[in-house]
A and B are shown apart, each in its own frame.
Chain A
Amino acid sequence: MRRRFTHFLSFGGPGVAIYSALVLLPIIVSFGYSLTNYNPFNPPTKFVGLRNYSLLFSDEEFLTSLRVTTILTVIVVIVPNALGLAIAVLLDRKGWVYNALRSVFFVPVVLSSVVVSIIWTRLLDSEGLLNQTLRAVGVSDPPGWLSDPDYALYSLGGILSWQMLGFCVVVYLAGLQGVPAELLEAAAIDGAGPFRRFWRVTWPMIAPALTVNTVILLITAFKVFDHVQIITRGGPGTGTTATIAYLVLEEAFVANRPGYASAEAIVMLLIIATASAVALKLLQRREVDL
């Protein structure tokens, strides 16, 4: 017994200790905060039960952030997934041109979101490259992609899609390369055209790639903060691009209301855990059905 304990201490001890102190304990503390009115500038801190949670559901700002995050997540789950598959099919050939293009699509994946955000801020500026180009081809009054409340959220979705596209391409390419050529040949001999072969053979065979991409995109989109902080700061107008992650950090560190912020954070955690678990279950069932 004692030997087993020293085995754990020497191999697992340090890792488990740091993980417990800086991840597990903070989750518990976060939940604890959410049951109080903790505010460093407005002591004393008192236990308020579930009041923060009940306030959340009539808080316009919070409900808006849920709506904003949902729209963003839907865009980011669908667009890079669909385009990524199309581009992977297009690039699924041998040759240096295709290899070089794969690298090009992957570059934004290794860029910091800070860099991506600044590049696109310049590009989508009302006097930026995109609008200069649009004016040159005769659009007299192109929109302010980031300054118009009707466009900003969709621009943000586009930027995130651009950054995540290469990831999806690479995962789909790996999936496509795992489809046995004999299977496709057999289908061709049986008289299936290219579209039918894709739909009946390839698409079911790359189900695991769809699962990976969807779950990763879902989690990435749901916790977007960097791009919002750098590009729009939640605006233009009030909260038109303020995601839930952005709101949580604003409340905790700028408005200095950690109690209320923690309630928002816990709700965020519950939503993301449920959504990704459900998505994983549904998509994996599809794989098993094969």
Chain B
Amino acid sequence: MRRKLLALAIGAVFFVPLYMTLVNVFKRGDRIAPEPASLPIPPTLANLDAVLSRTDNLFWVSLTNSIMVTSLSIIVLTVLSAMLGHYLARTPGLWSKALTLLLLSGLMIPPQVILKPVVDVLRFLQLMETPQTRLVGLVLFNVGYYVPFGVFVFAGFVRSIPIELEESAALDGAGRMQVFWRIVFPLLRPATASVLIFLGVWIWNDFLNPLIILGPGTGTTITTGIYRSIGQYQQDFGSLFAFMFLATLPVLLFFLLLQKQFVKGLTGGATKG
């Protein structure tokens, strides 16, 4: 019992920042600064409404961009890194070892180190022209930057499934692509789930790459959209909290629904060391 109380007390202190955010989403704007921790009685939807009905549509534009960038990036990443991971895990020899090493070395390169040349490469590819092409550029960079992570997860998983399955399917005359997509890929489901979850959350929450590649002005994602609205909401904390709440809702729901997979994906790597 004492243990439970102690745990609850620590959890409550830890929760204060989240509590403060939640109550202020539903509190009248002028009451937030003087009494940040009071309950929102009576509750109001004015803050949420103000964000959703902005004349510049900042929230909706940002949400659309975030959904497009995130979903495109994680789909392309899953397809490319599953195939590349399978290739590396099933191809013996020096060449594939060298390639694996080359990819793994990309795992810990901070984006700051390469962002300037990345923008130059995207400009060379004529992807820095309009807000739309910049979105394509951002997706491409996400794919390049996170491919090592995807390959790392998939290659590890492929090694744990018996090769005989693929061999017998190949004997039956199925082509390589067919064997991979029909037989192997369905078996990789746990790896696919952790790649989708992790990269989905990382890319959704990413601030730096959209800030630099899309710019803070036009074509914001949800994170750079919040950043842009800080200045505009200097006094209107209610709207700022509401914007953050709406931006976080998809990830939070996703997390609450898939909690087991989140934790499993994370700790799988941890216990294997």
Contacts and interface: CB of A to CB of B under 8 A. Distances in A.
Interface of A: 7-8, 10-12, 14-16, 18-19, 21-27, 29-30, 33, 87, 90-91, 93, 95, 97-98, 101-108, 110-115, 118-120, 122-123, 127-129, 132, 162, 165, 167, 170-171, 173-175, 178, 208-209, 211-212, 219, 222-223, 225-226, 229-230, 245, 248-249, 252-253, 258, 261-262, 265-266, 268-269, 272-273, 276, 284, 287
Contacts of B267: 170-171, 173-174
Interface of B: 3-4, 6-8, 10-11, 14-18, 20-21, 33, 36-37, 80-81, 83-84, 86-88, 91, 99, 102-103, 106, 108-118, 120-121, 140-141, 143-145, 147-148, 151, 176-177, 180, 201, 204-208, 211-212, 222-223, 226-227, 230, 237, 240, 244, 247-248, 251-252, 255-256, 259, 262-263, 266-267, 269-273
Nearest to A243: B112
Contacts of B10: 87, 90
Nearest to B37: A129
B7 A91 contact: yes
21 contacts: A10-B83, A11-B86, A15-B84, A18-B140, A21-B121, A23-B144, A26-B116, A30-B113, A90-B7, A101-B11, A104-B11, A110-B251, A111-B205, A127-B33, A132-B36, A162-B17, A171-B270, A212-B269, A253-B116, A268-B112, A276-B108
Given A22-B144, A258-B116, A12 B84 contact: yes
A165 B84 CA distance: 34
Q: Is the interface of A mostly helix, strand, loop or mixed?
A: helix
A12 B88 contact: yes
A118 B36 contact: no
Contacts of A10: 83, 176-177
B106 A23 contact: yes
A90 B17 contact: no
Contacts of B99: 12, 16
Contacts of A113: 205, 207
Contact of A248 (B18, B112, B237, B269): B112
A173 B266 CA distance: 11
A25 B116 contact: no
Contacts of A29: 117, 120-121
Contact of A114 (B8, B106, B207): B207
A73 B14 CA distance: 21
A122 B144 CA distance: 36
Contacts, number: 242
Contacts of A173: 267
A236 to B, nearest CB: 18
B80 A211 contact: no
A18 B80 contact: yes
Chain B CB count within 10 A is highest, among A7, A90, A93, A122, for A122
B121 A22 contact: yes
Nearest to A17: B144
A7 to B, nearest CB: 6
Contacts of A170: 263, 266-267
A87 B9 CA distance: 12
B266 A171 contact: yes
B114 A27 contact: yes
Contacts of A27: 109, 113-114, 117
Given A15-B84, A110-B201, 10 more contacts: A19-B103, A22-B140, A87-B10, A103-B256, A107-B18, A107-B255, A123-B36, A175-B270, A245-B112, A268-B110
